[in-house]
Amino acid sequence: MNVMQSLRLAGRRYRPLVLLPPLLAVGCGGLRLEDSAGDSPRFDPFSYFAGQTRAWGIVQDWRGRVVRRFDVDIEGSLENGELRLDEEFRYADGERSTRQWRIQADENGRLSGTADDIVGTAAGDLAGNAMRWRYPMDLEVGGRSHRVHFDDWLWQLDQDVLVNRSYIRKFGLKVAEVTIFMQKSDG
């Protein structure tokens, strides 16, 4: 094999690596909050989550395989302009966990929130029927802790139904997705 044949073969072998950065860039830019600005019903997390909400969800790994199923009871209360969400998770494998969010809105409508299992403060924005909520978390997997970043997208479909898609990334690469369907409870 001469040098030219070797270079052509090497070029074919590494061509997928050359295409990888543009594909990663395209994968990050699909959702835009402003695309939901005119959509209704207008999502207000402070009114939607006041009271009881029931939720069901799945976790998918980076290949799309369902690796966990769960349901959640959410109790929301308002006090001095702060939304408190008490969440109780029940996983199909028998595990149980809880989370308590404390969420505020500033004078511009931007949201911020804290929970014991997230790192720092979550940041959120609203537009029309949608909300984007981002935060880092130290996630336990197989006895090890991994710093990941959640990019949550919520859409209110009608008065009682909300859909949440979470994209979980590590080092900028998607490692998992969570899909949750929520429904307001009558009491």
Q: What CATH number has the domain bearing residue 65?
A: 2.40.128.20
The pLDDT tens digits for 111-168 are: 999 999 999 999 999 999 999 999 999 988 888 999 999 999 999 999 999 999 999 9
Is there a single domain that holds both residue 72 and residue 145? yes
Yes or no: say if 115 and 100 are a contact pair by the CB < 8 Å rule.
yes
| Confidence check: pLDDT of 26 > 80 | no
Mean pLDDT of all residues in the chain? 87
The whole-number pLDDT of residue 90 equals: 98
Please tell me whether residue 35 adopts helix, strand or coil conformation.
helix
Is there a single domain that holds both residue 78 and residue 100? yes
Is there a single domain that holds both residue 103 and residue 125? yes
Euclidean distance between CA atoms 176 and 172, whole angstroms = 12
Please tell me whether residue 62 adopts helix, strand or coil conformation.
coil
Interval 3-10 mean pLDDT: 49
Specify the amino acid at residue 105: A
Q: How far is CA 18 from the centre of its chain?
A: 29
Is there a single domain that holds both residue 12 and residue 71? no
Q: Computed over its alpha carbons, how large is the radius of gyration of the chain?
A: 20
Is there a single domain that holds both residue 44 and residue 136? yes
Tokens of 170: 């590590």
Is there a single domain that holds both residue 113 and residue 176? yes
pLDDT band at 29 (very low <50, low <70, confident <90, very high): low
- In this structure, the strands spanning 66-79 and 51-61 are antiparallel
The whole-number pLDDT of residue 167 equals: 97
Domain that holds residue 17: 1-30
Structural domain count, the chain = 2
